Amino acid sequence: MTIINSNKLTLSGVTSSADFEVFLPELDGDLLLDQDEEWCEVLVDGRRDRIRFHDYHRIYDIPGMYERLFYDMLECVSPRLVRDLLATALADHAMNPENLRVLDVGAGNGMVGEEIRTLGVETVHGVDILEEAAAATRRDRPNVYDDYLVADLTDLTLEQHDVLVHADLNTMTTVAALGFGDIPPAAFVGAFNLIETPGLLAFTIKDDFLRDNDPSGFSRLIQRMLAEKTIVPLAVKHYRHRLSVHGKPLDYIAFVARKTGDVPVAWVR
Ligand SMILES: C[S@@+](CC[C@H](N)C(=O)[O-])C[C@H]1O[C@@H](n2cnc3c(N)ncnc32)[C@H](O)[C@@H]1O
Same domain, 126 and 240: yes
Considering the domain boundaries, does residue 1 fall inside one? no
Q: What is the DSSP string of 146-176?
A: SEEEE--TTS--HHHHHHHHHTT--EEEE-S
Whether ligand 1 lies within 6 angstroms of the CB of 128 is answered as yes
Residue 154 pLDDT: 86
Measured from the CA of 70, which atom of ligand 1 is nearest?
9
Same domain, 185 and 162: yes
Considering the domain boundaries, does residue 180 fall inside one? yes
Q: Which residues of 216-236 are buried (b: 16+ CB within 10 A; e: fewer)?
A: bbbbebbeebeeeebbeebbe
Same domain, 228 and 116: yes
> Rounded to an integer, what distance in angstroms lies between the CA atom of residue 58 and that of residue 71?
17
Q: Which of 73, 96, 125 is the last residue of a domain?
A: 73
Same domain, 253 and 162: yes
Same domain, 61 and 93: no
Of the residues 80, 129, 194, which should be mutated to test ligand 1's pocket, given the most ligand atoms within 8 Å of the CB? 129
Backbone angles phi, psi at 107, to 5 degrees: -70, -20
Instruction: Work out how many domains the chain is built from and give that number.
Output: 2
Measured from the CA of 184, which atom of ligand 1 is nearest?
19
Same domain, 144 and 17: no
Same domain, 64 and 87: no
Residue bearing the CA closest to ligand 1, atom 16: 182
Considering the domain boundaries, does residue 30 fall inside one? yes
Centre of ligand 1 to C-alpha 176, Å, is: 7
Element (H, E) at 223: helix 218-227
Considering the domain boundaries, does residue 261 fall inside one? yes
Same domain, 225 and 128: yes
The number of beta carbons lying within 10 Å of the beta carbon of residue 265 is 11
Residue 14 pLDDT: 37
Q: Which of 49, 73, 97 is the last residue of a domain?
A: 73
CATH number at residue 174: 3.40.50.150
Measured from the CA of 54, which atom of ligand 1 is nearest?
1
Q: Give the residue numbers spanning the domain of 191.
A: 78-268
pTM of the predicted structure, to 2 decimals: 0.93
pLDDT along the chain (269 residues), means of 10: 32 52 84 91 96 97 97 98 98 98 98 98 98 98 98 94 97 96 94 98 97 93 97 98 95 98 94
Considering the domain boundaries, does residue 152 fall inside one? yes
Q: Which of 73, 92, 110 is the last residue of a domain?
A: 73
Which of 59, 189, 158, 170 has the alpha carbon at shortest distance from 125?
170
Q: Are the beta carbons of 169 and 201 closer than 8 angstroms? A: no
Residue 56 pLDDT: 97
Whether ligand 1 lies within 6 angstroms of the CB of 172 is answered as no
Whether ligand 1 lies within 6 angstroms of the CB of 152 is answered as yes
Residue 9 pLDDT: 38
Same domain, 219 and 91: yes
Considering the domain boundaries, does residue 137 fall inside one? yes
Considering the domain boundaries, does residue 189 fall inside one? yes
92 burial (CB, 10 Å; 0-12 / 13-18 / 19+) is exposed
Same domain, 99 and 207: yes
Residues 6+ apart with CB under 8 A from 240: 75, 77, 249, 250, 251, 252
Measured from the CA of 57, which atom of ligand 1 is nearest?
25
Same domain, 108 and 218: yes
Same domain, 68 and 168: no
Which of 93, 60, 27 has the alpha carbon at shortest distance from 244?
27
Residue 3 pLDDT: 27
Residue 18 pLDDT: 53
Residues 6+ apart with CB under 8 A from 215: none
Q: Are the beta carbons of 125 and 155 closer than 8 angstroms? A: no
Considering the domain boundaries, does residue 26 fall inside one? yes
